[in-house]
Structure 1
Amino acid sequence: MSVRAPPDASFPAFRREPVLNTASITDRLPDVAGDQAQAARLLDWVGMGNIAIPLRIEDANGGTVTVPASADIGVNLIDPDARGIHMSRLYLHLQDAFSSQTLDRGTIARVLRDCIESQRGLADRVQLTLRYGQLLRRPALASAHSGWKTYPVEIDAVLSPDGLALTLALSVEYSSTCPASAALSRQLNAARFAGDFTPSTSGFDAVREWLESPRGLAATPHAQRSRADVRMRLADDVDVFPVLAIVDALEHALGTPVQTAVKREDEQAFASLNAENLMFCEDAARRVSAALSSDPRIARFEATVSHFESLHAHDAIARVSGP
């Protein structure tokens, strides 16, 4: 005969709790956001940052592709007595807004109008920031190879009673070789040549062999990876974000964009480009300015070029703006 052990007093017997009928209480869930604010005041921006969303964007071939992105969304709070906004409504509006429609002015305008309407008179201005990486395939300089490069892109959209304003920001990396260092290097190279050769020395082949030998390079100028960060207020008639066109214009203006696939012939071609495009940060800023100011799609721009110096422990930076 088996004997049932007495219940352990340290573990009370399990009791099944009655299942709550959530349907019966859904209509009376408290919403303290509707309470009156303790200190009445207008707020410039209330919302959320770094929301994960999918974006459907144009690719370099004229098609579309879905990319991961992050978003900041917020509104102004124009009712000083309202304690808060309806954040969940903004979040839900963003989740699928850009996954099925290609990102352009019209799509953004519709989403922002819906966001304003979701706040029921609490706001008349909404700001949306989208961040993603534009993946572009770039050809090598000399060989038949190519490779992918990611360009960070940010779109800032503001819808207010004054209308819709769109700002496009992106970054381009390039190499910058110092003109002063190049001049100093040439002087040392010339001095070594004068020491190794005399006016009476003759022979084309001898000079060529000397140039190709270690003696033919007494010094090299310093160069460094650099970056151009640009923000562009787009003209009101621009519907599609011209990311590829702006990247191409900036890389062409700077002359020495960082490369993807590199074989020896590509590296040699890149060295040649650097010799042809010696630049201080001031030179780079002027090149960027010339490229942006001539584009009718851009109403206004701000650009910062940063040369992450290999000579100094600090960076060389120049900024420029204009219509």
Structure 2
Amino acid sequence: MPDVAIQSQLHVAGALDWVGMDGIEVPVRFDAGDGDVQRASAQVGAFVNLTRPDRRGIHMSRLYLLVDQYLSTRTVDGAMLESLLRAFLESHKDLADRARISIRFDQLVRRAALRSDNSGWRAYPVSIEASLCADGFRMELGTEVVYSSTCPASAALSRQLIQEQFAKDFDAGKPVDHAAVLAWLGSEKGIVATPHAQRSVARLLVRFVDGAPLNLIGLLDRVEHALGTPVQTAVKREDEQAFALANGSNLMFCEDAARRIQRALDADSGIADFHVRLEHQESLHPHDAVAYTSKGDSAR
């Protein structure tokens, strides 16, 4: 059968950076770091460059079939992806010398409640980007951590209003009755103002050292522990109270959250590089507070 892709098109000749397909639907098998290989529905992008200016196009069906062959049957890890990218280039050895792949899916991770014996599932978005070129194989893992952030400035202003209310309700010239104060603290007057808090997102892009496993759960644990207030799954009253306590003990601007994550990831010898974008989705403003950080330099 005729193949017009191999025909010369000298009037529109030129090499191309990347050619391929995106949004390929395929199942993937992934071990997030706990030994439990889950199967998920993924969207995949598969690309090679086109070095031959005289060739009209690449063989996209070859890329598709290789994606299906590898990802449908083998667990995703660095060795498998490097092998797949080498297969991309072997299938286009007369056309390409660089290959890359992107994989996007959700990974379910079971998370324990803060105080009760319950637990529930969190779906964490996962993106894996891998490339193979003259400089060798490179792979990065991306994910997101959603957490609560309570504003330190708003907390200070709230405390001031509570002090003022206390001064109104209790005469400075009279002895303070312990029972009366305790009852006041448990009433609405004892909390006339509350600091604003908001759902916040840390978007992580991490490159592990060569040969290190794609330990998603280890990464999530490290970041969530550093922040102290990740969103919860199963919540009973004792869990909600513990979450309120965690928020009160972890007041943070987006700059504070960025530095916490930077310190936590810098301390992980298995991480070669990282980039983080933090977004505090303000309840006070219609805009968001945003901070960026990367390995070893919070000023970048």
TM range (shorter): over 0.9
Aligned to 1:276: 249
The total of aligned residue pairs comes to 294
Query: Structure 2 counterpart of 1:33, which letter?
Result: A
1:58-87 per-position Cα deviation (integer Å, ceiling 9, x unaligned): 156413121111100101111111110000
Q: CA deviation at 1:102?
A: 1.5
Aligned to 2:140: 167
What is the rounded CA distance, in whole Å, between the counterparts of 2:186 and 2:215 in structure 1?
A: 45
Aligned to 1:197: 170
Aligned to 2:188: 214
What is the rounded CA distance, in whole Å, between the counterparts of 1:163 and 1:148 in structure 2?
A: 37
- Of 34, 37, 44, the residue aligned with 2:6 is 34
Q: Percent identity?
A: 51
Q: CA deviation at 1:134?
A: 1.1
Which fold has the larger relative contact order, with Cα–Cα distance below 8 Å and residues 6 or more apart in sequence?
2
Aligned to 1:3: none
1:246-298 per-position Cα deviation (integer Å, ceiling 9, x unaligned): 00000000100000011111111100000000000000111111111111121
Query: Structure 1 counterpart of 2:111, which letter?
Result: R
Q: Which runs of 4+ in 1 moved over 4 A?
A: none
The gaps in structure 1 that reach 5 residues or longer are 1-28
What is the rounded CA distance, in whole Å, between the counterparts of 2:182 and 2:154 in structure 1?
A: 24
Give the 3 Å change call, closer, same or farther, for CA 55–249 of structure 1 in structure 2.
Answer: same
- 8 Å CA contact 2:200–2:281 kept in 1: the answer is yes
- Of 57, 64, 68, the residue aligned with 1:95 is 68
Let me know the Cα RMSD of the aligned residues.
1.1
- Is the counterpart of residue 321 in structure 1 residue 283 in structure 2? no
The gaps in structure 2 that reach 5 residues or longer are none
What is the rounded CA distance, in whole Å, between the counterparts of 1:30 and 1:258 in structure 2?
A: 57
Q: CA deviation at 1:237?
A: 2.6
- 8 Å CA contact 2:32–2:216 kept in 1: the answer is no
- 8 Å CA contact 1:66–1:99 kept in 2: the answer is no
- Residue aligned with 1:73, SS: strand
- 8 Å CA contact 2:33–2:215 kept in 1: the answer is no
- Residue aligned with 2:12, SS: coil
1:14-44 per-position Cα deviation (integer Å, ceiling 9, x unaligned): xxxxxxxxxxxxxxx1100001123221110
Give the 3 Å change call, closer, same or farther, for CA 61–234 of structure 1 in structure 2.
Answer: closer
- Is the counterpart of residue 290 in structure 1 residue 263 in structure 2? yes
Q: CA deviation at 1:232?
A: 1.2
After superposition, residues 139-288 of structure 1 pair within 5 angstroms as 139-199=112-172, 200-238=174-212, 240-288=213-261
What is the rounded CA distance, in whole Å, between the counterparts of 1:151 and 1:176 in structure 2?
A: 19
1:280-321 per-position Cα deviation (integer Å, ceiling 9, x unaligned): 000011111111111112111110000000000000000011
- Residue aligned with 1:97, SS: helix
- Residue aligned with 1:96, SS: helix
TM-score, scaled relative to structure 1 = 0.89
What is the rounded CA distance, in whole Å, between the counterparts of 2:242 and 2:33 in structure 1?
A: 25
- 8 Å CA contact 2:33–2:216 kept in 1: the answer is no
- Of 115, 118, 124, the residue aligned with 2:97 is 124
